[in-house]
């Protein structure tokens, strides 16, 4: 059959739409909203259709980096459809409404129990039972745990009639910014053991040497943010035990297991770092890192109620039943807690072991391949002796540096951060690839190929080109300065007093 169309002449009446804006046939891009800028700083006077608002925001957000190519972050970028379904179905639940959502509260209890057992909390007698709570992430858990240590120390000092106004806490200079926040917000002096060429994380002996009667606790990191190293909690525990015995002090260890807490138990079970050690009083872990759950979920655990002063716990009954709460925020979403429970029971120990072993093997493969190019020095551990990440630096000084490598890789879409090492080792520049669940062997092959071609391209630079790139990099770094709090445009100018003082305390570029 031949299909022949007739071209209608101009003087024939046509079913013309003059007001194309309201035509139901047009796409979003044919509406009047598509020809206007998105409302930015002022709530618009009029409404807009849901599909237009959705599309405008979606189109803007697509300019973000691709989460799966973001090798800077430890935070989960893949969950199964079933987990996402559960999250979607529970988005409207407020976790704090225990009375209304008793099963969700029960699920949170189960998560605390599972994680406490994974971390070998003593369970033999009722008075020795561990305590724990969900948090938004490890930062909240760290601040809560610091608060508990500070309050315990203050109470003990008051009871003895001793001064209690100069608390200090000891940690490696490689600690994450969450610790700087905890120290500053809670007015605790931070004693940071510097890193050295030989040890890019905390030396337990130096840490214990620095302790005194005002020390509220020592933080040990299970998975340094900079290099993935596990700090030696066992040695710290025995040195601290000896010192406390000698001096009559009671100083506890808090383990920041933000990254390593869900890795070490499955690939390095012989490592003793958790509640098996008597001086480990509290632990934090990020559910949204290797706990394989979308952000933001973390967990704080205490060895027993002795280590969580009762006067920090708020008991309320205005939601219909008596309930205890130790959190900063009252309301929060319940869906991440439910998703965390899904992951824990869906994977079980065998599932976690399979995934973590695969990650270790991918990280080792990547480290070997990079080392074999002869161009890089690997600074992280292999074989599961640290978090599955590869921290590396250039072997030789060139016209370009690690920051140039990072910028060049960004052109291909890869986000591989470059950063300087912690206090006293700032001259050391590093690159870091965090191996997460969705970073497959195939992806690592492509990354290696792209790193090789990046180096080949950078090797073509001459002095002048390197200088130009550096100038551009510095300028765009200043331009791209990001802040997690927003300035109200038109009210506070960037050179106002407050914003200046904030700038002085920039968080490090490693998270």
Ligand X SMILES: Cc1ncc(COP(=O)(O)O)c(C=O)c1O
Q: Where on the chain is the footprint of ligand X (CB under 6 A)?
A: 74, 137-139, 176, 178, 221, 223, 225, 256, 258-259, 286, 298, 511
218 CB burial (10 A radius; 0-12, 13-18, 19+)? buried
**Minimum distance between the CB of residue 146 and ligand X, rounded to whole angstroms?**
12
3-state secondary structure 59-85: HHHCCCCCHHHECCCCCCCCCCHHHHH
Comparison of 359 and 394: residue with beta carbon closer to ligand X: 359
**Phi, psi angles (nearest 5°) of residue 358:** -60, -40
**Minimum distance between the CB of residue 112 and ligand X, rounded to whole angstroms?**
17
Comparison of 223 and 265: residue with beta carbon closer to ligand X: 223
Position with the least CB separation from ligand X: 137
Given a contact cutoff of 8 angstroms between Cβ atoms, the answer to whether 438 and 78 are in contact is: yes
Give the integer Cα–Cα distance in Å for 43 and 106: 40
**Minimum distance between the CB of residue 224 and ligand X, rounded to whole angstroms?**
7
**Residue with structure tokens 């561990």?**
130
Comparison of 259 and 336: residue with beta carbon closer to ligand X: 259
Given a contact cutoff of 8 angstroms between Cβ atoms, the answer to whether 172 and 201 are in contact is: yes
Given a contact cutoff of 8 angstroms between Cβ atoms, the answer to whether 141 and 284 are in contact is: yes
Comparison of 139 and 362: residue with beta carbon closer to ligand X: 139
**Minimum distance between the CB of residue 204 and ligand X, rounded to whole angstroms?**
17
Comparison of 223 and 458: residue with beta carbon closer to ligand X: 223
**Minimum distance between the CB of residue 387 and ligand X, rounded to whole angstroms?**
9
The two tokens of residue 133 are 């709570």
34 CB burial (10 A radius; 0-12, 13-18, 19+)? middle
**Minimum distance between the CB of residue 259 and ligand X, rounded to whole angstroms?**
5
Comparison of 190 and 323: residue with beta carbon closer to ligand X: 190
Residues pairing with 17 in the sheet: none
**Minimum distance between the CB of residue 53 and ligand X, rounded to whole angstroms?**
30
Comparison of 255 and 451: residue with beta carbon closer to ligand X: 255
Task: Tell me the angle at which helices 402-410 and 441-458 cross, rounded to the nearest 10 degrees.
Answer: 120
Rg over CA atoms, the chain: 27
Comparison of 387 and 394: residue with beta carbon closer to ligand X: 387
**Minimum distance between the CB of residue 453 and ligand X, rounded to whole angstroms?**
30
Given a contact cutoff of 8 angstroms between Cβ atoms, the answer to whether 218 and 253 are in contact is: yes
Adjacency order of strands within the sheet including 418-420: 376-378, 389-394, 429-434, 418-420
Given a contact cutoff of 8 angstroms between Cβ atoms, the answer to whether 118 and 269 are in contact is: no
């Amino acid at each position: 059959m031949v299909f022949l169309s007739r071209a209608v002449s101009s003087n024939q009446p046509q079913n013309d739409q003059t007001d194309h804006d309201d035509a139901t046939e047009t796409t979003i891009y044919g509406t009047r909203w598509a020809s206007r800028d998105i409302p930015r700083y002022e709530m618009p006077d009029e409404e807009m259709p849901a599909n237009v608002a959705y599309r405008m925001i979606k189109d803007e957000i697509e300019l973000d980096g691709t989460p799966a190519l973001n090798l800077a972050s430890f935070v989960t970028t893949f969950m199964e459809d079933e987990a996402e379904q559960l999250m979607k179905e529970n988005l409207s639940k407020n976790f704090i409404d225990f009375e209304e959502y008793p099963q969700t509260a029960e699920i949170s209890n189960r998560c605390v129990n599972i994680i406490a057992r994974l971390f070998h909390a003593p369970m033999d007698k009722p008075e020795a039972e561990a305590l724990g709570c969900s948090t938004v992430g490890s930062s909240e858990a760290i601040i809560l745990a610091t608060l508990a240590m500070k309050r315990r120390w203050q109470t003990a000092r008051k009871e003895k009639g001793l001064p209690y106004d100069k608390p200090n806490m000891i940690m490696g200079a490689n600690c994450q910014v969450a610790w700087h926040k905890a120290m500053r917000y809670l007015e605790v002096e931070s004693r940071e053991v510097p890193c050295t060429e030989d040890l890019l994380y905390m030396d337990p002996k130096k840490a214990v040497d620095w302790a005194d009667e005002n020390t509220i606790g020592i933080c040990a990191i299970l998975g340094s943010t900079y290099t993935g190293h596990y700090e030696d909690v066992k040695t710290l525990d025995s040195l601290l035990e000896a010192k406390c015995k000698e001096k009559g002090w009671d100083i506890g260890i808090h383990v920041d297991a933000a990254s390593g807490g869900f890795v070490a138990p499955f690939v390095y079970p012989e490592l003793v770092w958790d509640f098996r050690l008597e001086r480990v009083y509290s632990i934090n872990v990020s559910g949204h890192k290797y706990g394989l759950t979308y952000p933001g979920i973390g967990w704080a655990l205490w060895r027993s109620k002795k280590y969580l002063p009762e006067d920090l716990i708020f008991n309320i009954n205005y939601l219909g039943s008596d309930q205890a709460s130790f959190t900063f925020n009252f309301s929060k979403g319940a869906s991440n807690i439910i998703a965390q429970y899904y992951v824990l029971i869906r994977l079980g120990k065998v599932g976690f072991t399979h995934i973590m072993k695969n990650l270790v093997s991918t990280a080792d493969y990547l480290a070997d391949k990079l080392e074999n190019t002869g161009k890089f020095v690997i600074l992280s551990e292999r074989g599961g002796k640290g978090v599955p990440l590869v921290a590396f630096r250039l072997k030789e000084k060139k016209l370009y540096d690690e920051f140039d490598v990072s910028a060049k890789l960004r052109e291909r879409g890869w986000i591989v951060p470059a950063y300087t090492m912690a206090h006293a080792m700032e001259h050391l520049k590093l690159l870091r690839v965090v191996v997460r669940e969705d970073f497959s062997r195939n992806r690592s092959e492509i990354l290696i190929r792209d790193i090789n071609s990046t180096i080949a391209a950078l090797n073509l630079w001459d002095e002048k080109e390197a200088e130009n790139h550096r100038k551009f990099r510095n300028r765009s770094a200043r331009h791209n300065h990001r802040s997690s709090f927003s300035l109200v445009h038109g009210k506070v100018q960037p050179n106002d007093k407050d914003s200046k003082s904030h700038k002085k305390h920039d968080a490090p570029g490693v998270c």
